[in-house]
Chains A and B, each alone.
Chain A
Amino acid sequence: MMVPEALALSAVLFCIGVVGVLTRRNAIIIFMCVELMLNAVNLSFVAFSRLYGMTGQVFVVFVMTVAAAEAAVGLAIIISIFRHRQTVDLTNINLLKG
Chain B
Amino acid sequence: MPNFFYELHFYLFGLFAIASALTFVTRKSPVAAALWLVSTMFSLAALYVMMDAHFIGAIQVLVYAGAIMVVFLFVVMLLNLGHPDELSDLRGKWGRLAAGLLGLAILAQVMALSRTRPEASLVQSDFDRLAELRGENAVAAIAKPLFSDHLLAFELTSVLLLVAIVGAVVIGKRRAST
Contact = CB atoms under 8 A, between A and B. Distances in A.
Interface residues on B, range: 35 or more
Give the interface centre of B7, B10, B21, B40 by most chain A CB atoms within 10 Å: B21
B51 A46 contact: yes
Contact of A31 (B72, B129, B144, B163): B72
Contact of B52 (A13, A26, A28, A50): A50
A71 to B, nearest CB: 5
Given A22-B102, A64-B63, A69 B118 contact: no
B71 A6 contact: no
Contacts of A5: 10-11, 14
B97 to A, nearest CB: 10
Mostly, the B contact residues are helix
Interface of B: 2, 6-7, 10-11, 14, 17-18, 21-22, 24-25, 30, 33-34, 37, 40-41, 44, 47-48, 50-53, 55-56, 59-60, 63-64, 67-68, 71-72, 75-76, 78-79, 81, 87, 89-91, 95-96, 98-100, 102-104, 106-107, 110-111, 114-115, 118, 122-124, 126, 128-129, 132, 141-142, 144-146, 149-150, 153, 157, 160-161, 163-165, 167-169, 171-172, 174
